Amino acid sequence: MEVSKEEFLRQFGGDYGYPGAPKGVDEMRAAEFKRLEGMAYLDHAGATLYSEAQMADVLKDLASNVYGNPHSQSDSSMAASDLVTAARHQVLKYFNASPREYKCIFTSGATAALKLVGECFPWSRESCYMYTMENHNSVLGIREYALSKGATVLAVDVEEGADLAKDNGSYSLYKISRRTNQRRSKDVLSHNCQNGSLSDISGNNWNIFAFPSECNFSGQKFSLSLVKLIKEGKIPLQQQGKWMVLIDAAKGCATEPPNLTVYPADFVVCSFYKIFGYPTGLGALIVKNEAANLLNKTYFSGGTVAASIADIDFVQKRKNIEQVLEDGTISFLNIASLRHGFKIIEMLTTSAIERHTTSLATYVRNKMLDLKHSNEINVCTIYGQQYSKVEGLKMGPTITFNLKREDGSWFGYREVEKLASLFGIHLRTGCFCNPGACAKYLGLSHSDLVSNFEAGHVCWDDNDIINGKPTGAVRISFGYMSTFEDAEKFLKFLQSSFVSLPVQFNNGYMLNLNSLNLIDNSSQKAVSDIHLKSIIIYPVKSCQGFSVKSWPLTTGGLMYDREWLLQGSGGEILTQKKVPELGSIRTLIDLELGKLFIESPTRRDKLQLSLLESLADLSEEVDVFGQRYEVQSYDDRVNTWFSEAIGRKGDCKQKLPVDAMRFRPNLVISGSSPYSEDNWKKLRIGEACFTSMGGCNRCQMINLHQDSGQVLKSKEPLATLASYRRKKGKILFGILLNYEDIMEGENETIAGRWLQVGQQVYPSTE
């Protein structure tokens, strides 16, 4: 595992780091990406990063020039028009597409470009829309247009042959496996579909075959020779008519853009933030002239028409295909900034970027496959190349995987994501909007997918394991500024968090033998001096609490504890995780006065709320973490006070002290052995009885520290706890107690039932 950078360079030095460029990757990273210090950004498939020099050039350009709406003849408009024209040519050059054969249509992104094709393509009931299973949802979405016109839709698996490296354009190198035909129109005759395949239909119908240049799930690269084979009819698709080919290059074009002179696809889509980080919200449809002439756009807008009359049905669209297909004023300032991004790519060259990122991905992929538990069970299951029967299958700089425990069960991908954030590692989890590839590699059947949905699983939720199977995966991906240090940081994270030798105690924790002073829980005996050390009340959720020597109990537990919470303007519940500044707001309750006092370092005045005041006239229903509750709200005076009390947070890299208050406890107990509470089932404090509801799952809120009115954020203590207090994806510390009201028929405070500091605590493990 411990391989030095020198050894890595001996293996990959010819490809890593841009040895022939004006700046090497280390120099570029230090000068242009200072914001990445201490972290590893490994989500370039989601969005790569912009450089400081790139943004400085963009700002200088916009500050030095006047660019107006290009739909005019003024000097500023013509300046913008010239830049847009130059940008179109630069995009075509990037894909080696001749301006005589292709047009560049600017859109709001690759998704909008795909939508434009689906919306304007001449679908008929004789048409077929065929796409590979490994396609993004944005490609799948085109089928809605096709199905609505009665066309047939068909997903296929494309299996490349073993001699692909010797590709001579032969159909024998590909095996096309068809899935079920999809048709929606009621007037389509059943004889058009026979035995799960399409019968030949005559006519000059138009069809589309869509595939990604690189799968955004697995990183597998599809051979672009599919373009010619399909267009020339060398792959029998059992559908007559003219076939056009669409390439989703959103992922692949960052390192290997399709060469359209060699592989003349009809439609290619891309998003520029995937290539050089900025601008977002801008993409392009690169379309062949023949295909562009087929696109029929119904809607017209400003800039797309030569003439129109308001009160009669008369409109004459422009002849320029770019102007016809681009709605209204294009994002000309974003388009003007493209040249500053392409400047970086041209300096490094796409071939060097491809070699650089591939070297990192290959190194990490091989090291991951070598990781094993003590019983020789593989830790990592990698999707893509590992699943293919074809040796030497080309892979992009993407690694998608899941992790297994020593007993063969899966770590949930959300557990991996949460732990990665503690290590300063940015990665992505889920299915990445690619349901076909996700189901294929995870082995999820249609019934699995439906039952998962019925069990409540939707995109971006925490249901990462259902019925013992992962519902998604973890993905890392490298970009042009990624370094060996990023790769090594990630590998060390896997080693320390998922491959440590486990010791199974009776409380079920996986512990790291190298970082823990072991305690034999089985030898622990009852200690007579277990007592209540402190009591803390938190009236307002996520605000500071206050300590007391004694406090009354009610049927809900400690009186007034977490009885107030704050709601944002959008209806969301505010916590320190979202608004760390709440941690600087102090609270105090005076039971004799019947008042709640609240103060903030940013406010001179204290807020006073009566505990006895009735707010029945201001009651409403709110959603609190998925549950509906009837609550009482306050007037604008209180709302304004809290709005002004919220300041700004700070980041902290220094070591900060960690005490019990970091965990926002209500009760602190002294005298027992560390973590003995894990085994407690019940406990009695004085005359009050409590039942343990299990361990308390900790989040990053315990990493926030108050210092002189500022909220500082670090990685501790959660990172340390994660190394030895992790159980089934949860980081546990302390336990949750439920107060047992043994006095029957009482609904209010039980007379004389108080907790007091110093009371004896009697735990029970039975």
229 and 371 in a common domain: no
Residue 251 lies in a domain: yes
- Is 428 a residue whose pLDDT tops 80? yes
Which residue did the predictor score with more confidence, 691 or 751? Answer: 691
Q: SS in 3 state form for 214-244?
A: ECCCCCEECCCCHHHHHHCCCCCCCCCCEEE
Between 327 and 119, whose confidence is greater? 119
| Rounded Cα distance, 324 and 292, in Å | 10
| Three-state DSSP class for residue 381 | strand
Smallest Cα–Cα separation from 416: which of 501, 509, 513, 493? Answer: 493
Number of domains, the chain: 3
User: Does residue 22 sit in the same domain as residue 83?
Assistant: no
Residue 237 clears pLDDT 70, i.e. is over it: yes
- Asked if the structure places residue 583 within a domain, the reply is yes
DSSP single-letter state for residue 479? -
Q: What does the pLDDT look like over 88-103, one tens digit per residue?
A: 999 999 999 999 999 9
- Verify that 372 and 458 share a domain, yes or no: yes
Tell me: the pLDDT tens digits for 511-551? 443 333 333 343 333 445 899 999 999 999 999 999 999 99
Q: In CATH, what number is assigned to the domain containing residue 178?
A: 3.40.640.10
Q: Calculate helix-pair angle for 484-498, 5-12, nearest 10 degrees.
A: 120
**Active-site residue 652, yes or no?**
no
11 CA to centre of own chain: 32
For residue 753, what pLDDT is reported? 82
**Amino acid letter at 682?**
K
445 and 320 in a single domain? The answer is no
Residue 720 token pair: 């340390």
What are the tokens at 694? 């299990």
Whether 381 and 241 map to the same domain: the answer is no
- Of the candidates 524, 552, 527, 517, the one whose C-alpha atom is nearest the C-alpha of residue 537 is 552
Locate all alpha helices (DSSP H) within 522-681, ordered by sequence.
636-645
Q: Tell me: do 556 and 614 sit in the same domain.
A: yes
The full 3-state SS of 292-325, as one line of letters, equals HHHCCCCCCCCCCEEEEECCCCEEEECCCHHHHH
Residue 195 domain-assigned? no
Residue 583 CB contacts under 8 Å (≥ 6 apart), including other chains: 542, 543, 544, 576, 704, 706, 711
Euclidean distance between CA atoms 127 and 248, whole angstroms = 20
**DSSP-assigned beta bridge partners for residue 479:** none
Q: How many CB atoms sit inside 10 A of residue 656's CB?
A: 17
Q: Mean of the pLDDT values across residues 462-467? A: 86
The overall longest dimension of the chain from CA atoms, in Å, is 94
Question: What pLDDT shows up at residue 2?
Answer: 53
Q: In the prediction, which pLDDT does 511 show?
A: 45
Residue 654 in any domain: the answer is: yes
> Where does the pLDDT of residue 506 fall: very low under 50, low under 70, confident under 90, or very high at 90 and above?
very low
Same domain, 13 and 38: yes
Residue among 491, 445, 492 at smallest CA distance from 469: 445
What is the C-alpha separation between 200 and 126, in angstroms, rounded? Answer: 9
Structural domain ending residue among the three candidates 345, 379, 399? 345
Single-letter code of the amino acid located at 754? W
Q: Of the candidates 113, 132, 118, 287, which has an alpha carbon nearest to the alpha carbon of residue 206?
A: 118
The reply to whether omega before 717 is within 30° of 0 (cis) is: yes
Please provide the DSSP assignment of 64-116 as one string: H-----SSS-SHHHHHHHHHHHHHHHHHHHHTT--TTTEEEEEESSHHHHHHH
pTM listed for this prediction: 0.80
Q: What is the pLDDT of residue 626?
A: 65
Show the tokens assigned to 557. Answer: 């537990």
Same domain, yes or no, for 118 and 147?
Answer: yes
pLDDT digit string, tens, across residues 8-65: 999 998 999 999 899 999 999 999 999 999 999 999 999 999 999 999 999 999 999 9
- pLDDT of 462 strictly over 70: yes
Please indicate, yes or no, whether residues 498 and 578 belong to a single structural domain of this protein.
no
Residue 252 corresponds to which tokens in the numbers above? Answer: 């692949």
**334, 83 contact by CB (below 8 A):** no
Which of these is catalytic: 104, 215, 380, 433?
A: 433
Tell me what pLDDT residue 188 has: 45
| Rounded CA separation 698/703 (Å) | 10
Single residue among 321, 345, 369 that ends a domain in this structure? 345
Does 377 share its domain with 467?
A: yes
Residue 727 lies in a domain: yes
What distance in Å separates the CA atoms of residue 494 and residue 507, rounded to the nearest whole number? 24
| CA geometry: angle 490, 492, 493, nearest 5 deg | 60
For residues 331 and 379, membership in a common domain is answered with no
User: Which among 53, 10, 7 has a CA at the least distance from the CA of 30?
Assistant: 53
- Rounded Cα distance between 352 and 134, Å, is 27
Query: Residue 752 contacts by C-beta under 8 Å, 6 or more apart in sequence?
Result: none
556-594 pLDDT tens trace: 789 999 999 888 877 788 888 888 888 889 999 999 999
In whole angstroms, what is the distance from residue 128 CA to residue 147 CA? 9
Q: Quick one: tokens of 750?
A: 């039980």
The position carrying tokens 């060390």 is 492
In a domain, 463, yes or no: yes
Q: Where are the beta strands (DSSP E) in 531-618?
A: 531-537, 546-548, 550-554, 557-558, 566-567, 573-574, 586-590, 595-599, 607-610
| Position 190 in a domain | no
Please give the pLDDT value at position 534. Answer: 95
- Give pLDDT, residue 20: 87
Cβ–Cβ < 8 Å for 558, 737: no
State the pairing for strand pair 206-212/128-132.
parallel
Mean pLDDT of 276-298: 95
Judged by DSSP in three states, 173 sits in helix
Identify the band that residue 721 occupies on the pLDDT scale cut at 50, 70 and 90: confident
Q: For residue 191, tell me if it sits in a domain.
A: no
- Tokens of residue 249, six digits: 């290059």
Q: End-to-end distance of the chain based on CA atoms, in angstroms?
A: 45
Contact in structure between 153 and 147 (CB atoms under 8 Å)? yes
Reduce the secondary structure of 410-426 to three states and give it as a string.
ECCHHHHHHHHHHCCEE
Give the residue numbers spanning the domain of 418.
Answer: 1-60+351-502
Is 61 strand, coil or helix?
Answer: helix
Final residue belonging to a domain, choices 345, 363, 389: 345
Q: What tens digit of pLDDT does each residue of 327-386 get?
A: 889 999 999 999 999 999 999 999 999 999 999 999 999 999 999 999 999 999 999 865
Which pLDDT does position 517 carry in this prediction?
Answer: 35
Q: Which residue has the higher pLDDT, 89 or 648?
A: 89
How distant, in Å, are the alpha carbons of 152, 293, 410, 431, 455 from that of 451?
Answer: 27, 45, 19, 16, 6
Paired tokens of 504: 């199974």
Mean pLDDT of the chain: 86
pLDDT in tens, 167-220: 555 555 778 888 888 888 554 434 343 333 443 444 578 999 999 999 999 999
> What CATH number is associated with residue 43?
3.90.1150.10
Q: Is 332 exposed, middle or buried (0-12, 13-18, 19+ CB in 10 A)?
A: buried
Task: Return phi, psi of residue 554, to 5°.
Answer: -125, -175
CA distance 728 to 425: 21
Beta-bridged to residue 695, according to DSSP, are 735
497's enclosing H/E stretch is helix 484-498
Residues 247 and 389 in one domain: no
For 656, the token pair is 């900060």
- Give the phi and the psi of residue 247 in degrees, each rounded to 5: -110, 125
Percent of the chain whose pLDDT exceeds 70:
86
Rounded to whole angstroms, how far apart are CA atoms 290 and 294?
7
DSSP 171: G
Task: Report the pLDDT averaged over residues 441-469.
Answer: 85
Tokens of 83: 């830049």
Which carries the bigger pLDDT value, residue 397 or residue 199?
A: 397
163: pLDDT strictly greater than 50:
yes
